[in-house]
Amino acid sequence: MINFKNIFLGSKHIILYGLLMAILVFALKWLQWKFLIVDNALEIYVGLIAVFFTILGVWVATQLVKPKIQTLIVEKEVYITQSGEFTIDETELKKLSLSSREYEMLQLLAKGYSNSDIGENLFLSLSTVKTHISNLFTKMEVKSRTQAIAKAKRLKIIR
Amino acid sequence: MINFKNIFLGSKHIILYGLLMAILVFALKWLQWKFLIVDNALEIYVGLIAVFFTILGVWVATQLVKPKIQTLIVEKEVYITQSGEFTIDETELKKLSLSSREYEMLQLLAKGYSNSDIGENLFLSLSTVKTHISNLFTKMEVKSRTQAIAKAKRLKIIR
DNA sequence: AAACCTTTCATACTAAAGTACCGGTTTGGC
DNA sequence: GCCAAACCGGTACTTTAGTATGAAAGGTTT
């Protein structure tokens, strides 16, 4: 996991700090100019003191400050075998955009019905059954009823 | 999870920093003014500078310290769909007394293979495949490949 | 109203599946 | 060695499946 905070503090922070120091120096210089209260030696001295004690502060802190604790939550996947409960994959089913008759054909196909069986069951002519099944195959991109059954089961669109 | 620290450092941090610097500048100016009049107190001035920058250094360091990562493992339940615990009904399979080739045919039938597909796969002639499948149908007491597939799945003799 | 999809049915045809019967080889058990 | 079963392959035939194309009725959407 990327720690944005570290990146921020690791590089930009230091740059920012340096810049602020530079600005401070210039600000002091400007103030010095403006108020003509001049004591260059003192400014340099104070600046060195500042830098030194800043570094000292950092060093002291790194030696004494307790390390921060960041909690990283890791999800461990526990697999639970769910017995039997079959659910139709509605997403996959909608993708195919089958008509109701076509889906009906598919269900009966999977039951092992022949074309004439289906016709007799749904009171349709053999021609009609063939037409529906042919269209079904086109939509499912298969070439035979057995392929249709295999694919339908794989996609979980029939039980 | 929202990291308040990032928000703080992201925008308010800079403002705070600026404010601190402004205060510092004015403080220095004030001190400079004061101790130019009260000359002997240079040590106090430098001391204050030292203290201030030490604190600043500590503060910077605490911001820079790399957080120690504590890993917390949380269990997440994942439901895996049926296939995990499918077992072939050996009893039903033995009842049919299929030969190894016949059973092989059945498995490929269920995959949606055509007779010629099977032939090419197993390096058998179409005639041989037909013979095996025909014998398979007789043993299974079915009349078509789709019926064979349906029955085989019902009896749980194929996956 | 026109365009589109679904459903129904038809004919004609090709491709594949399935049956029946045949011959031959191999393999494992008695 | 013999027998039964499995295995491999073939021919011939019937049946079923699948494709192509068209047509008509009904519903929905634009």
CA distance B106 to B134: 11
What is the residue extent of each domain of chain B?
Answer: 4-65, 90-154
pLDDT per residue, tens digit, chain B (159 aa), is 434 344 344 444 444 555 666 667 666 666 666 656 665 556 656 667 677 777 677 666 666 665 556 667 666 666 555 545 788 999 999 999 999 999 999 999 999 999 999 999 999 999 999 999 999 999 999 999 999 999 999 999 998
Confidence (pTM): 0.57
Q: Which fold has domain B90-154?
A: Arc Repressor Mutant, subunit A (1.10.10)
Nearest to A84 by CA among B88, B89, B85: B85
Asked whether residue B131, judged by its CB, lies under 7 Å from any atom of the DNA or RNA strand C, the reply is: yes
Computed from CA positions of residues B62, B63, B67, B72, in that sequence, does the dihedral angle turn out positive or negative? positive
Is B39 buried (19+), middle (13-18) or exposed (0-12) by CB count in 10 A?
A: exposed
Report CA(B100)–C1'(C29) in Å, whole number.
18
Asked whether residue A101, judged by its CB, lies under 7 Å from any atom of the DNA or RNA strand C, the reply is: yes
pLDDT digits over A89-128, tens only?
999 999 999 999 999 999 999 999 999 999 999 999 999 9
| A111 has a chain B CB within 8 A of its CB | yes
| A155 has a chain B CB within 8 A of its CB | no
